[in-house]
């Protein structure tokens, strides 16, 4: 895979030394699944000397997701297109056209970028279409195993589409994609975090289960998994929990664990997810692209429970790809029962050799330089600066 990446990404023959600092836009937004890799790309491109702006949708969740970015941002209000046709679809279409118009005006008024990198989601459509209208190079990154509608729409005009999952390549025209991996958030592996003293026992000395429903939490997952872990604790099995429940569910989940005597650190949102992965022996989570990539990078075995309502069922396809490699198990939400999950966890806690096999499979999947590889395809799309000796 890496040989193919190198051939695709660097096949232009353009040397990095022939480029100079450029103004770039990274269009992301909507959910943490788009913002986090967008922030990672903004940092990587800025490290390479470029002037980078993040263009977002102005949603509240983006404020938490962007805490690690101290550079300029621009909010372009937009709305996703619902499935089917209704007045909501028509109104969303009007907002999308308005967002595109705003992007064109802002790019024209002395802020024209050398290239636009769109990370997918409805928030990237306006900047992407504006780049097309102004003949600005457009580079895309698709994080999921099944392309979203935004990337599918914009791909016909893109210079290159970077992919986190090789499986997605079959859904694009041949020759327009590069498997770059997922741009991971920066990690600080300086030791195991005690999470402000809320983790009752030292991680790695006490079996630690990580539960996360993504940047916005997941009500059904919170309810089912909390009940399962309380059942498991009642059996006398020793473990502790790091649970990212989302803002709305945080108090309920914390109270439930306290009532059942389950040692747990519960958060509504956790900026430093790398510390949670570092502490975890096993994860129960959704199958968003960021989660799948971060699990692989940290070598954490997992049970993946895809979000049933995910667009184009992309979380199920993500989970299937990870499960095929042996790095995780997959269960549909409608099939999940607390007693079954308690039995499943008890079996895995008592079989560390199986967890080690899953851990090794996860590490084999990992692409830890996804941000660098994606930055390569962005720079390959930039105008070439000729040296004095060039003819």
Let me know: does 238 contact 210? Beta carbons within 8 Å. Answer: no
Q: In this predicted model, what pLDDT tens digit does every residue of 26-36 receive, in sequence order?
A: 999 777 688 88
Mean pLDDT of the chain: 86
**Are 141 and 223 in the same domain?**
no
DSSP 203: B
**Are 132 and 90 in the same domain?**
yes
- Which structure tokens are listed for 110? 């002395």
Whether 189 is covered by a domain: the verdict is no
**Are 123 and 242 in the same domain?**
no
Entry field: residues in the chain: 391
Angle of CA points 65, 213, 366, to nearest 5°:
75
- Which structure tokens are listed for 352? 């560390």
CATH of the domain at 74: 3.40.50.2000
Whether 391 is covered by a domain: the verdict is no
**Are 38 and 72 in the same domain?**
yes
Q: In this predicted model, what pLDDT tens digit does every residue of 344-362 receive, in sequence order?
A: 999 999 999 999 999 999 9
DSSP collapsed to 3 states, 7-40: HHHHCCCCCHHHCCCCEEEEECCCCHHHHHHHHH
Q: Which of 8-17, 207-216, 223-232 has the lowest mean pLDDT?
A: 8-17
User: How far does the chain reach from its first CA to its final CA, in angstroms?
Assistant: 36
Determine phi and psi for 296, rounding to 5 degrees. -65, -45
Whether 190 is covered by a domain: the verdict is no
> Is the pTM value of this prediction over 0.85?
yes
**Are 219 and 267 in the same domain?**
yes
**Are 225 and 238 in the same domain?**
yes
Whether 229 is covered by a domain: the verdict is yes
Pairing status of strand 51-56 against strand 73-75: parallel
Q: In this predicted model, what pLDDT tens digit does every residue of 145-173 receive, in sequence order?
A: 999 999 999 999 999 999 999 999 999 98
**Are 11 and 128 in the same domain?**
yes
**Are 349 and 372 in the same domain?**
no
Given pLDDT bands bounded at 50, 70 and 90, which one contains residue 311?
confident
**Are 264 and 139 in the same domain?**
no
Does position 197 have pLDDT exceeding 50, yes or no? yes
The residue segments making up the domain with residue 251 are 195-365
**Are 356 and 373 in the same domain?**
no
Q: Is 273 left (phi over 0), alpha (psi -120 to 50) or beta?
A: alpha
3-state secondary structure of 44: helix
- Compute the radius of gyration of the chain from its Cα atoms: 22
Q: Looking at the 3D structure of the chain, how many domains does it have? A: 2
Q: What is the DSSP string of 330-358?
A: E--GGG--HHHHHHHHHHHHT-HHHHHHH
Does position 141 have pLDDT exceeding 70, yes or no? yes
């Amino acid at each position: 895979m890496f040989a193919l990446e190198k051939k695709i990404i660097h096949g232009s023959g353009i040397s990095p030394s022939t480029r100079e600092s450029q103004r770039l836009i990274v269009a992301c937004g909507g959910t943490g699944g788009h913002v986090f890799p967008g922030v990672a790309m903004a940092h990587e491109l800025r490290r390479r000397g470029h002037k980078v702006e993040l263009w977002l949708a102005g949603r509240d969740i983006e404020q938490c997701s962007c805490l690690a970015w101290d550079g300029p941002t621009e909010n372009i209000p937009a709305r996703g297109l619902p499935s089917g046709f209704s007045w909501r679809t028509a109104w969303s279409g009007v907002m999308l056209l308005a967002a595109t118009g705003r992007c064109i005006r802002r790019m024209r008024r002395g802020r024209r970028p050398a290239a636009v990198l769109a990370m997918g989601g409805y928030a990237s459509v306006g900047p992407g279409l504006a780049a097309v209208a102004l003949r600005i190079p457009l580079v895309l990154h698709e994080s999921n195993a099944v392309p979203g509608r935004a990337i599918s729409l914009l791909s016909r005009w893109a210079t290159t589409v970077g992919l986190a999952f090789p499986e997605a390549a079959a859904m694009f025209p041949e020759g327009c994609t590069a498997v770059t991996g997922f741009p991971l958030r920066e990690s600080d592996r300086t030791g195991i975090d005690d999470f402000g003293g809320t983790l009752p026992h030292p991680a790695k000395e006490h079996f630690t289960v990580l539960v996360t429903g993504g940047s916005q939490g997941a009500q059904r997952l919170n309810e089912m998994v909390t009940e399962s872990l309380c059942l498991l604790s009642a059996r006398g099995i020793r473990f502790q929990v790091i649970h990212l429940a989302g803002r709305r569910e945080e108090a309920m989940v914390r109270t439930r664990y306290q009532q059942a005597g389950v040692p747990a650190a519960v958060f509504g949102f956790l900026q430093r997810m790398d510390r949670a992965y570092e502490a975890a022996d096993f994860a129960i989570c959704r199958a968003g692209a960021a989660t799948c990539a971060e699990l692989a990078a940290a070598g954490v075995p997992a049970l993946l429970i895809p979000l049933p309502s995910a667009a184009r069922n992309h979380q199920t396809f993500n989970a299937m790809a990870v499960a095929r490699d042996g790095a995780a198990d997959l269960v549909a939400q409608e099939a999940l029962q607390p007693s079954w999950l308690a039995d499943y966890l008890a079996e895995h806690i008592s079989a560390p050799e199986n967890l080690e096999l899953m851990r090794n499979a996860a590490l084999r999947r990992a692409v830890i330089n996804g941000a660098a590889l994606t930055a390569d395809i962005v720079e390959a799309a930039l105008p070439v600066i000729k040296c004095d000796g060039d003819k």
